[in-house]
């Protein structure tokens, strides 16, 4: 049985996704499902009872083996910065600059993103044309 557990652990370890292999369609499917659950914005929230922006991205990517920092600014520092015009589905979008980054969302393509916007709202879709991010970041 110990041998069986060891090989099971080895196969689960090798099956864990590397940062660069996070499947963006899986990330987007999970994020989309959260928009249908009426999860409220909660400052500091990191669970299905409520999310803030970085709690949402941390939660979604964490389910696919990618550990993200707790704040939008720290998450921005974990990414390779790219122009918003070059963002691909699954990339992160950021508002603000440098240590003043104050919001993060998951880009879904077509000028849309999923985010936890602000008090009194739920996890939902947003549009770049309605509120343009400052830059994008690739994990």
Q: Where in the sequence numbering do the catalytic residues fall?
A: 53, 103, 115
Rounded Cα–Cα distance for residues 91 and 127 (Å): 15
3-state DSSP helix/strand/coil % of the chain, to nearest 5: 35, 25, 40
DSSP state of 77: H
């Amino acid at each position: 049985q110990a041998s069986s557990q060891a090989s099971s652990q080895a196969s689960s370890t090798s099956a864990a996704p590397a940062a660069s292999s996070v499947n963006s369609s899986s990330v987007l499917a999970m994020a989309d499902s959260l928009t249908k659950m009426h999860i409220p914005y909660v400052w500091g929230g990191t669970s299905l009872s409520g999310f803030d922006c970085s709690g949402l991205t941390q939660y979604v990517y964490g389910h696919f083996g990618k550990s993200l920092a707790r704040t939008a600014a720290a998450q921005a520092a974990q990414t390779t910065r790219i122009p918003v015009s070059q963002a691909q589905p699954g990339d992160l979008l950021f508002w603000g600059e440098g240590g003043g980054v104050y919001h993060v969302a998951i880009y879904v393509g077509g000028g849309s993103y999923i985010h936890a916007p602000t008090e009194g709202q739920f996890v939902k879709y947003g549009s770049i044309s309605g509120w343009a991010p400052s830059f994008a970041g690739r994990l």
